[in-house]
Amino acid sequence: MGALKSESFNLLSKARPSERQILPPSPPDTDREYMDSSSELSDTETGTLMSNRDKPGTRKLPLYPLPPESRSDNTILTEDLKTPDSHVVRDSRLIRLTGIHPFNVEAPLSNLYDEGFLTTKDLHYVRNHGAVPKVEDSEIMDWDFTIEGMVDNPIHMSLAQLIREYEQVTYPVTLVCAGNRRKEQNVVRKTKGFSWGAAGLSTALWTGVAIGDLIRASMPRRGARYVCFEGADKLPNGYYGTSIKLSWAMDAERGVMLAHKMNGETLPPDHGKPLRVVIPGQIGGRSVKWLKRIIVTKEPSDNWYHIYDNRVLPTMIDPETSADLPGTWKDERYAIYDLNTNSATCYPAHNEELILDGSERTYNIRGYAYAGGGKRITRAEITLDKGKTWLLANVSYPEDQYRLAPEGEALFGGQIDISWRESSFCWCFWDLDIPISQLQAADDIMVRAMDEAMMVQPRDMYWSVLGMMNNPWFRVVIHKEGHKLRFEHPTQPALIPGGWMERVKKTGGNLSNGYWGEQLAGETKAAEPIEPAKEICMTNDKVNRIITLEELKSHDGETEPWFVVNGEVYDGTGFLEGHPGGPTSITGAAGQDASEEFLAIHSENAKAMLIDYHIGTLDKASQALLADSEAAPPPEDAPPREVFLQHKVWTKAILSAKTSVSPDTKIFTFDLDHAEQAVGLPVGQHLTIRLRDPVTREAILRAYTPISSSGAKGKLDVLVKVYRDMPTQKGGRMTQALDSLPLGHFADFKGPHGKFEYLSRGLCAVSGRERRVRRFIMVCGGSGITPVFAVLRAVLADREDPTSCVVFNGNRTEEDILCKAELDAMLADNEHRYHLNYVLSRPGPSWTGGRGRVDKDLIAKEVGSCTGTDGGDMILVCGPKPLEESVLSIFTEMGWKKDDMVFF
């Protein structure tokens, strides 16, 4: 491989035993991390550590790192009690990147570095897509997996057999999430991924079986080219799975293994208990946890997660357009396998301060670097003048110590003879002493690394839609503050504020200008400073009642509904009549924690109104119990439901198709649980769709009326007008999120909701009270056609229904008229009871319909004088707020009462 590797090995071989220890620049305080034959050795059969002093005749061995001590006081954390992971013990220091669940975490960067070359299970990063499969200790050895597909000798094997029948190996391997350092990309422009900091990597000693031995035993057939892996973690889009090339899996140099131990212990639940794949040199997303299936194939995996995750799409593809490019997602040229070269500065840490005392001291700058595909980092370089000049840092390779282990040496029950292997599986450490006077004169510190293929980190970021493989120079800003220096990293992980990138963006700097956001001559600021969000008080200071879960649950019906927002209890009884969404919007939340739904969709005015309905605080124990009960997944053996929508429970449906009906409008088709499942939405009511912001994990909720017929089964069609970001204004969060949703992904649904329901033949219900209608006057605009369309279709589909309908459909241009073909077709068959008026504010020269806006003159001409409730007329309105306000004013002026109007 490279000359540097050979030189390092030769120097170690010639050194005296006491000199053979290669330490990272800032090793942990404990001596236990480094092993000498004079202290402890591994017994090959048991994997337990044995004293060499008790083994006469053994020869002296070189040193190599052992794992630091794990914490013994970790426990199941309170926040996990509310989730399906309530059985998993975790370390409270880990930073959660995707809210409470699923568990995606990294350690604080300084803590990770301070542990040294090997990372404890406590601080090892975790990437979970869903709930952690629960495997009892008594079930570990019975865990089974298969090797199938294009093989002549399919294998079905238990973990006990794997350990008993195959040679065990132990290797140090660094695993890195492809999203490491993604927060930097998200600050520049939001990607579809959540915000990893610079600690999305960790190194451990993995013990298991070389996968090549297993695959050879299965006898792959001619033409086989890939090995697919599938785990036991059941997710909305199937079980997690991916693939690598067969040639890579079979190459002993690559070190791919099936691991059942981590740092000498049974795999922790978060790391694949009891069996996982470990693939050195490739992104962590290929190392499938909770392994159940190995499939040898001709083509790459067709698993949803292999296709729609861990890819670097071309930089010009944005989140909105990416969802309509299935061919691009499936293009294997964009799939990530090898890691790219990367590095980060760990010390000085973020916000670390250095006192200036006038002495000639130096400061030891230090950090990590890694490369992919088995390549070695060959240099790390530091610049204090933005790349004009560079300083060569020292680089150390603790991994090389394992190459000195003699033949037959075992650790944790696995052979560690890797002296023959040229590949580098692990991170390395760099450091450089810099005079403090030079730091005082500099504005920043930047590091870049190079690997043995001469691939060097780029100066500038390559932004991509998933935010993967971010590896520009790592820049730490130096602030001069009186008699001290303060250091500022680019970002902080998750939603933690801080970092020079966030600061620069908030002040309007352009982070993409090639100069790290510094304003150039003649350059205008990218944006105005961001104002902090206002706090809205939603509680009554005079209320001090403590409410139990039992009390709350006694008010979970349609009368006197109580609900919880941010731990506070509210009585919605007094607003059942006045809620714009109808009483079901409140009763659907009765007895539940409605925080997420309420806060996601209500205005500041609505939040302030909660004060009037505040009746007490749910006690802490009840808050935990309520969250735990609502987070519990449905039982695996639950029978299929006949009706999809549930009033109080979110239900998932898979996006299966998108159909464009205009330049900015699409029909989104979702597959229900089974082909015979009814949607369960009464005519005139709506449902709520929930998605999650990929970065903040905040819920995005909006109400929609599907255009599926009330009797539709198996599928759900939702017509959505997509409001995109414009230079002068932000677009719609939900509509853009839906548009970005790739086929095969899921959305959450709940319903039905709404105060209006059309029953049949002129009979409807408003807020639960039945009313007979002779004529509907329907006014809509844009995508507001959907509830009107649903009622109109139900009326006209029944030849015996005597109800007539007058429709006013206002739009800007002819192409903005949605469902026009269907509206026109219904008119052709029902001219005696259906009158349709199109009005365009920006008509083309060939337009022959109405021009301008839906105004009083047009309504009076088509509808006549007010008949009111006694006359059997009802007005249904859905559209933009200005349209609704205009309609209310017009009909009120014409003599109609508000009781005659329903605003969807």
Domain borders along the chain are 3-65, 342-403+420-506, 546-631, 651-753, 756-903
Give residue 657's identity as a one-letter amino acid code: A
Place of tokens 């969060």: 733
Pairing status of strand 804-811 against strand 775-781: parallel
Helix axes 856-863, 881-893, angle to 10 degrees: 60
Give 368-383 as a 3 state SS string. EEECCCCCCEEEEEEE
Helix (H) or strand (E) holding 551: helix 549-553
**DSSP result, 63-128:** -EE-PPPPPS--B--GGGGGSTTTT--B-TTSEESSSSSS-EEE--HHHHHHT-SS--TTTS-EE-
What is the rounded average pLDDT for all residues in the chain? 86
The pLDDT score that the predictor gives to residue 10 is: 34
pLDDT of the residue at 418: 87
Whether 707 contacts 718, CB under 8 Å = yes
Q: Find all residues with CB under 8 Å of 629, minimum gap 6, and list them.
A: none
309 is catalytic: yes
Q: What pLDDT shows up at residue 634?
A: 62
Select the more confidently predicted residue: 276 or 418: 276
* Residue 153, token pair as written in the block: 């000798």
Q: What is the pLDDT of residue 723?
A: 86
Helix (H, G, I), strand (E, B) or coil at 488: strand
Structure tokens at 642: 């006949």
* Strand ranges (E), 736-803: 746-753, 756-760, 763-766, 769-772, 775-781
CATH architecture type of domain 651-753: Beta Barrel (2.40)
Judge whether 400 and 8 are in contact, CB under 8 Å. Answer: yes
Q: List the catalytic residue out of 91, 309, 801, 900.
A: 309
Catalytic residue among 310, 470, 510, 830: 310
In CATH, what is the architecture of 546-631? Roll (3.10)
Query: Is residue 637 predicted with pLDDT exceeding 70?
Result: no
- Exactly one of 36, 91, 111, 177 is catalytic; name it: 177
Q: Is the pLDDT of residue 142 over 70?
A: yes
Region 484-494: mean pLDDT is 97
Q: Is the pLDDT of residue 622 over 80?
A: yes
CA distance 292 to 155: 12
For the whole model, what pTM was predicted? 0.80
Q: Coil, helix or strand for 811?
A: strand
- Report the DSSP pairing between strands 484-488 and 474-481: antiparallel
Q: Please check the confidence at residue 394 and state whether its pLDDT lies above 90.
A: yes
% of the chain exceeding 90 in pLDDT: 55
Q: Helix, strand, coil shares of the chain as percentages rounded to 5? A: 25, 30, 45
Q: How far apart are CA 261 and CA 281, in angstroms?
A: 19
Confidence grade of residue 870 (pLDDT, cut at 50, 70, 90) = low
d(CA 617, CA 747): 32
Q: Residue 21 — very low, low, confident or very high, per pLDDT cuts 50/70/90? A: very low
Report the pLDDT value the prediction gives residue 728, as an integer from 0 to 100: 76
H-state helical runs in 172-210: 182-188
Question: Across the beta sheet with 144-149, what order do the strands follow?
Answer: 155-158, 144-149, 291-297, 226-235, 238-245
Q: What is the DSSP string of 203-268?
A: EEEEEEEEHHHHHHHH-BPTT--EEEEEEEEEETTEEEEEEEEHHHHH-GGG--EEEEEETTEEPP
Q: Tens of pLDDT along 49-108?
A: 333 333 444 444 447 899 999 999 999 998 898 789 999 999 999 999 988 889 999 999
Q: Convert the pLDDT of each residue in 594-615 to its tens digit.
A: 887 787 777 777 788 888 889 8
Catalytic (active site) residue 811: no
330: Cβ contacts below 8 Å, ≥ 6 apart: 307
Q: Tell me how far apart the alpha carbons of residues 323 and 318 are, in angstroms, rounded to a whole number.
A: 9
The token duo for 317 is 């593809």
The architecture in CATH of the region 756-903 reads: 3-Layer(aba) Sandwich (3.40)
CA dist list (Å): 283 to 177, 250, 262, 494, 778: 6, 18, 18, 20, 56
- Confidence category of residue 112, pLDDT binned at 50, 70, 90: very high
| Partners of 96 in the β-ladder | 105
Q: Is the dihedral of CA 409, 429, 427, 118 positive or negative?
A: positive
Nearest residue to 153 via CA among 209, 214, 211, 212: 214
Residue 470 is predicted with a pLDDT of 97
368 to 3, 4, 51, 345, 655: CA distances (angstroms): 21, 18, 33, 7, 41
CA atoms within 13 A on the CB side of 796: 25
- Going from the C-alpha of 360 to that of each of 356, 482, 483, 486, 564, the distances in angstroms are 10, 18, 15, 18, 61
The average pLDDT across 659-678 equals 91
Amino acid sitting at position 210: A
Find out whether 583 and 768 touch, Cβ atoms under 8 Å. yes
Contact 324, 318 (CB under 8 A): no
The pLDDT of 187-203, averaged and rounded, is 95
Question: Coil, strand, or helix at residue 739?
Answer: helix
State the Cα–Cα distance between residues 78 and 874, nearest whole angstrom.
53
Asked if residue 513 lies in contact with residue 520, where contact means CB atoms within 8 angstroms, the answer is yes
More confident residue, 883 or 417: 883
Question: What pLDDT sits at residue 661?
Answer: 86
How distant, in Å, are the alpha carbons of 329, 353, 541, 568, 831 from that of 537? 45, 38, 10, 12, 54
Confidence at residue 583, expressed as pLDDT on a 0 to 100 scale: 75
Tell whether 177 is in a known binding site.
yes
Instruction: State residue 44's pLDDT score.
Output: 35
pLDDT for the residue 625: 79
- In the prediction, which pLDDT does 466 show? 94
Q: Tokens representing 680?
A: 């369960």
Q: d(Cα 833, Cα 719) in Å, to the nearest integer?
A: 26
702-757 pLDDT, tens per residue? 999 999 887 889 999 999 988 887 777 788 888 988 888 888 889 999 989 888 99
**Could you tell me which of 658, 748, 744 has the C-alpha nearest to residue 704?**
748
Say if residue 764's pLDDT is above 70: yes
pLDDT at 526 over 70: no
Fold for 342-403+420-506, please state it: Immunoglobulin-like (2.60.40)
Asked if the model's pLDDT at residue 46 lies above 50, the reply is no
Q: Report the phi/psi class of residue 328: left, alpha or beta, with left for phi > 0 and alpha for psi in -120 to 50.
A: alpha
More confident residue, 636 or 587: 587
CB atoms near residue 492 (< 10 Å): 21
What is the pLDDT at residue 412? 94
Higher per-residue confidence, 14 vs 463: 463
Distance in Å from the first CA to the final CA of the chain: 69
Match 């794949």 to its residue by tokens: 277
Please state, in angstroms and rounded to a whole number, the distance separating the CA atoms of residues 198 and 752: 44
Q: Is the pLDDT of residue 890 over 50?
A: yes
**What pLDDT score does 632 carry?**
57
Residues in CB range of 503: below 8 A, 6 or more apart: 488
The answer, yes or no, to whether residue 48 has pLDDT greater than 50, is: no
DSSP state of 631: H
For the question of residue 739 being annotated catalytic, the response is no
